[in-house]
């Protein structure tokens, strides 16, 4: 399994790691299929990433 290339400086990954309810998303996307991450897709294409955008495309409240 490969880690996301932006994992170290992604503010959302830090939130996901600490939130017990969101750890599955962290394991499946951030340290797994990170090319499915909406944040990764935007950042890879040099677009701005909304701070509240979650890897699955939803937004944090």
Asked if 31 contacts 1 with a C-beta cutoff of 8 angstroms, the reply is yes
SS3 31: strand
Q: Residue 61: what pLDDT?
A: 78
Q: Residue 43: what pLDDT?
A: 96
Per-residue pLDDT of the chain (61 residues; tens, 9 = 90+): 789 999 989 999 888 888 888 888 888 999 999 999 999 999 999 999 999 999 999 998 7
pTM of the model as a whole: 0.85
């Amino acid at each position: 399994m490969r880690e996301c290339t932006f994992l170290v400086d992604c503010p959302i990954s830090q939130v996901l790691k600490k939130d017990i309810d969101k750890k599955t998303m962290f394991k499946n996307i951030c340290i797994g299929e990170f090319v499915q991450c909406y944040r990764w897709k935007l950042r890879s294409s040099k677009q701005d990433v909304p701070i509240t955008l979650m890897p699955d495309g939803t937004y944090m409240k």
